[in-house]
């Protein structure tokens, strides 16, 4: 698969999200993970809250984790959410979380650790201490964030000496505000509202890779837009372009994200091996400018 730079790493342009791997039985999980590796999709995204940690355990068992196997993949996980209680970027919680992640994944290190959701009570000095400890111990090699705006990242960077190499953000054809507000500069319409501090441009300027999550979802986990009767014009346009390239609609929806020059790394959520293959095929397709804008407009977005 085509690769991109993620900090000092050279990684697949499509990441495999493992949030739903606990929906598979043992044999299904083994087949899915092996298929991922076979097609070059060897960057796996986890979080300590996925399945309450069970997803990481299932993955480690499914891949038959060993030092030899570990060398063939990139592992990323996230911490900082205590479900229903708090967001927690305290030094103690970060260190404890990483130890749990490593134990469940049966590995000595993470390639990337992301801070999951912004903690209003974050003390960046504590985060910096935690990152130093984890890096010096060889437990985490790279660091990033998720769902953070430019000023939150700037505050963190004031204290943290390690580069922030990734920012995982919700982005899809139907959830494209971070793109739309850049098109509607100086306009008075709804799409001109800058809700994220121009985070897309900020990340590009600072060599922070945007990792779109829920690339096929609309709303906040309301469902997928592909094949959805709520989006007839969008699906008709995607299907038309898919027929031209002789690929699935899934491939074209993923290719729409990959066409953006920000060099994003979308995170899939599917546990269906064929759908994952369709996502990976997008790495070999470059939509024309006209096709990209046709899809953008058919989702209900407008040009000023």
Active site residues: 50
Cα Rg, the chain, nearest whole Å: 19
Beta bridge pairs of residue 164:
143
How far is it, in rounded angstroms, from Cα 109 to Cα 101?
9
Helices (runs of H) and strands (runs of E) counted in the chain: 12, 14
The Cα–Cα gap between 217 and 282 comes to 17
| Helix residue spans in 120-209 (DSSP H) | 124-136, 150-159, 177-183, 199-205
From 75, 79, 89, select the one nearest 36 (Cα to Cα): 75
Sequence-distant (6+) residues with CB within 8 A of 226 are 216, 235, 238, 249, 250, 253
**Could you give the CA distance from residue 60 to residue 152 in angstroms, rounded to a whole number?**
33
Helix 232-245 and helix 289-298: axis angle, to 10°? 150
Identify the burial level of 30 via C-beta atoms within 10 angstroms of its C-beta, where 0-12 means exposed, 13-18 middle and 19 or more buried. middle
Return all residues near 84 (Cβ < 8 A) that are at least 6 apart: none
Strands of the sheet containing 112-115, edge to edge, are 209-213, 164-170, 143-146, 112-115, 74-79, 43-45, 15-17, 267-268
């Amino acid at each position: 698969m085509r690769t991109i730079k993620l900090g000092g790493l050279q990684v697949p342009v499509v990441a495999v999200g493992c949030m739903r791997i606990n929906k598979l039985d043992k044999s299904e999980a083994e087949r899915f993970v092996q298929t991922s590796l076979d097609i070059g999709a060897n960057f796996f995204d986890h979080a300590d809250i996925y399945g309450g940690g069970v997803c990481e355990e299932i993955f480690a068992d499914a891949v038959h984790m060993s030092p030899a196997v570990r060398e063939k993949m990139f592992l990323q996980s996230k911490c900082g959410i205590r479900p229903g209680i708090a967001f927690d970027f305290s030094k103690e919680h970060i260190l404890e979380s990483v130890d749990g992640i490593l134990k469940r994944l049966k590995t000595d290190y993470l390639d990337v650790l992301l801070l999951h959701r912004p903690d209003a009570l974050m003390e960046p000095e504590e985060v910096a201490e935690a990152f130093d400890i984890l890096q010096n111990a060889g437990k985490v090699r790279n660091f990033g964030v998720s769902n953070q705006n430019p000023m939150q990242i700037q505050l963190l960077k004031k204290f943290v000496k390690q580069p922030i190499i990734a920012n995982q953000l919700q982005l899809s054809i139907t959830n494209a505000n971070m793109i739309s507000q850049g098109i509607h500069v100086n306009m008075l319409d709804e799409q001109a509202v800058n809700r994220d501090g121009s985070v897309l441009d900020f990340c590009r300027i600072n060599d922070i890779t945007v990792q779109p999550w829920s690339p096929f979802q609309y709303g906040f986990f309301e469902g997928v837009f592909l094949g959805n009767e709520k989006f007839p014009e969008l699906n008709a346009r995607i299907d038309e372009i898919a027929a031209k390239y002789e690929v699935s609609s899934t491939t074209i929806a993923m290719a729409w994200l990959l066409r953006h020059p920000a060099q994003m790394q979308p995170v899939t959520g599917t546990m269906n091996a064929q759908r994952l293959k369709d996502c990976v095929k997008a790495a070999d397709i470059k939509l024309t400018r006209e096709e990209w804008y046709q899809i953008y407009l058919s989702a209900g977005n407008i040009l000023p």
